[in-house]
Amino acid sequence: MPLRTWALACLAVLTLFVLSEAVKKEDFKTCSQSAFCRRNRALADSVNADAHWTSPYTLVKGSIRFSNNYMTADVQNTQTNNVLVLELQVLVDNTVRVRMDEKSPILPRYRDHEQFTLVDKAKPIKPFQSGKNTDGVVKIALDAERKIVVTPSPLVIEFYVKDEPVITLNDRGFFNFEHLRTKESHKPKMVKQKKEDGTEEEVEAPEEKDLWEETFKTWTDSKPRGPESIGMDISFNGFSHVYGIPEHASTFSLKETRGGEGAYEEPYRLYNADVFEYEMDSPAALYGSVPFMMAHRKNESVGVFWMNPSETWIDIVKTTEQAEGTAVQKVLNLVKPSSNKKSTKTHWISEAGILDIFVFFGPSSKDIFRQYTRLTGQPAMPQNFAIAYHQCRWNYINQNDVHEVDSQFDHHDIPYDVIWLDIEHNDGKRYFTWDSGKFPDPIKMQKELDQKGRKLVTIIDPHIKRDDNYYVCKEAKDKSLFVKQPSGDDYEGWCWPGQSSWVDYTNAESRKWWADKFKLDNYEGSTEALFVWNDMNEPSVFNGPEITMPKDMVHNGGWEHRVLHNVYGQIYHGSTAQGLEQRTNVPKRPFVLSRAFYAGTQRFGSIWTGDNMAQWDALQASMPMILTIGVSGIPFAGADVGGFFNNPSTELLVRWYQAGAFQPFFRAHAHIDTKRREPWLFGDPYTSMIRSVVRERYALLPYWYNTFQEAHETGVPIMRPLMVEYPEDENVFAMEDQYLIGSGILVKPVTEEGATQTNVYFPPSDIWYDLHTHNLVHGQGSQVVSAPLDVVPVFYRGGYIVPRRERLRRSSHAMTLDPFTLVIALDKQGEANGSLYLDDGETYAYAKAEFLKVCIHHCLCTC
């Protein structure tokens, strides 16, 4: 073996060994190690310490302009004299857009991600009323109850409902818009410091450090554009609970990050990263980023979408203050009697781009889900098989292994729909290929699965092995489709195949080329029964800073990776989905699982919570994680059943199957070094327990399909926090260990080792029935419920009709013509309502009204 080849092989082994260990926190930045976060946090600290601080941003007199549907004005930083342009636009459906960009930048700032994020910019509408008073305060009314008030100096933007400000921008004066400049023109800020001899000297202020170059560990970020960050404080007035900004292994109701009981020491970070064995209860960045936040109080919800795909940090502080009225309220005579008011104050900090915020007035959480997904896209309607049970591990080793696992499911009468192949199935980690020694006839394998109504999923990652004899690499190289280095050469990094490059999916030509790779005659060995798993698409780069791509790599149009990092995986996901959709003459709904995600990912398929651990706290964390992802617009989510790393106990595995069967994406998955854990390997009673809960998932598939259709139509989460259905019940506002599936089924998974009972909260406004026995639950509020290992506490909600299919089949496809059973759970008035939605389960014919929806009331059916 040549010396260079031997050295590369050793590096590969070393890399894989390092990545198999638990997460190393020192591999990922803290706020203090990220210069733009450090600068903006320092600004917030200095503002808080200065009682006389006034934000330097003011509206320029005479610059305010009104059109039919928006207001524009110049905003000047009185410290630097740089001028921004403010655009404030009223949109349909109680939505407002606020944008600010430099008026005359020396270079354009990034906003191209809008084409990947928004499907509907929302039709602007003429405000109900607009104008300004003699003090220059601008007032724009959406209707008789909702209005926007813009104070000119200092600039403050308030959003009112019924004469009360519910959201305020820049009320604490943290707004900071770093203007683009040349290094030569930059005048560093100087401060005085004492020397050892007691005299003073002028030195550069601490915030001047790392403006033009930044080093983390062994990597240096060249930062050719210099500083360009944006910071803004957003206050949710009168709201003590906020939700969203996934992905973090954190609580559903978000914690404070700057003081307070149980507060984190770091801000929540949004920066898609490959984090092995991530730690629990942490604001650290994980695989996906959705900069959306919703606030809720009794019977009212509001929300914001901070549309920026660069690295972002969010601080959260909760306050109790006396509401005496702001200056704006006093000017407009909107002051109410003073009272103690709990509020949540947030500070958003992004590395680059422009300020682009959507504000949602609600008024309910369901309204906000509709408003947000109207902009970023409706959740995709999946094929029937996709919502059933998936069996996966790294790796089913060959074609015979796949056949044996498939046969054993039938032998043990356990239904399943999809078997998965990880990275060992292809030729040397060359995607779109097969290891012919292990999988000599993949088409035959797929046809055998398809005869039973089952599917195959293969993994296809974004890193492309650098090999001129590999057709995918050669084509991308010849067409110049790879992400570039600043020098113009292809960027190369290290991942599973060894030396690799990454396609630039921001390029339309790249997206079309990638989608074409999934045509049946291009992806050799594929059939219509094959679907796709996109992993490692943060993107993961083993030898890159923070295990990802360096920020100064260059994309189409000359844009640095830093400005679009968080949307990269979403664009890749969408390109793959497009390829599956267009490979047949009649387009069929794709199934593509993605690890990385961003706002709009819901249009393309499902995601999962990444590489979790086989331990009880990881099972517990899966619920708030999926709830958070769901309220952030992505309803089709799940966690690896059993935990990816290490070997679960039989008790933990059973409890995880019980939880997973009542989560939207239901897949068992495991690391290559774990013991095999197919359900039949544990013997009775454990195999029977797993079989029972998997069968329950299949019996409820008609109900699941109904909830997916509801999510597709309205954006409402499938796995639903109780605060959505009980917006007036403060007991459930932070609840994360139990939840609803749709509106009609309550689930309380058991997540404590050795537990044989659990506490369940039954909202007292409804009555409840045990799903297993149909017995009425006696008592309301918190109740202790028996939960031996063979029982998962699940309850029907009174007033709802739940469709089921009871015949045992090997796959969901085999159930297509089976009859339905309707479970009618009467409410306190003896009434119940429900619906049954049916379509062909695989195409888009439903969009042409080719579906059946039966609405049921009092057991009388109407179509």
Residues marked active site are found at: 535, 611
Amino acid making up residue 478: D
Q: How far apart are CA 249 and CA 514, in angstroms?
A: 32
User: What residue has token string 């844009």?
Assistant: 559
Per the CB < 8 A criterion, the answer to whether 544 and 219 are in contact is yes
Nearest to 273 by CA among 244, 243, 247, 306: 247
Closest C-alpha to 247, from 625, 595, 731: 625
Helices marked H in 452-564: 471-478, 508-516
User: Strand locations in 745-808, DSSP E?
Assistant: 745-747, 757-762, 768-770, 781-786, 794-797, 800-804
Residue type, 675: K
- HSE at residue 393, side-chain half, CA atoms within 13 A, is 21
CA proximity to 572, closest of 540, 530, 542, 528: 540
Helices 365-376, 701-714: crossing angle, 10 deg rounding: 70
* Residues sharing a CB contact under 8 Å with residue 737, sequence separation 6 or more, in sequence order: 620, 623, 748, 749, 751
Check whether the bond before 539 is cis (ω within 30° of 0): yes
Q: 111 with 230: CB under 8 angstroms?
A: no
Any bridge partners for residue 232, and if so which? 348
- Could you give the 3-state DSSP secondary structure of residue 277? coil
626: left (phi over 0), alpha (psi -120 to 50) or beta: alpha
Nearest to 389 by CA among 677, 690, 654: 690
Q: For the packed helices 701-714 and 686-699, what is the interaxial angle rounded to 10 degrees? A: 50
> From residue 545, how far is each of 10, 424, 500, 598, 622 by CA, in Å?
21, 26, 16, 21, 28
3-state DSSP of 797-834: ECCEEEEECCCCCCCCHHHCCCCCEEEEECCCCCCCEE
Residue closest to 312 by CA, chosen among 282, 268, 350, 283? 350
**CB-CB contact of 174 with 44 (8 Å):** yes
Instruction: For helices 508-516 and 565-581, give the axis angle rounded to 10 degrees.
Output: 40
Tokens of 306: 């901070």
Q: How far, in Å, CA of 441 to CA of 491, rounded? A: 35
What is the distance between the alpha carbons of residues 347 and 319, in angstroms, rounded to a whole number? 14
The amino acid occupying position 93 is D
- Phi then psi for residue 797, to 5 deg, are -90, 130
CA terminus-to-terminus distance, the chain = 72
Calpha distance 276→640 (Å, rounded):
14
What is residue 149's DSSP assignment? E
Tokens of 448: 């055998």
Q: Would you give the distance in Å from CA 829 to the centre of its chain?
A: 40
Q: With CA atoms as reference, report the closest residue to 362 among 220, 183, 541, 162.
A: 162
Query: How many CB atoms within 10 Å of residue 115?
Result: 11
- Give the 3-state secondary structure of residue 626: helix
For 184, other C-beta atoms within 10 Å of its C-beta total 5
Tally Cβ neighbours within 10 Å of residue 366: 18
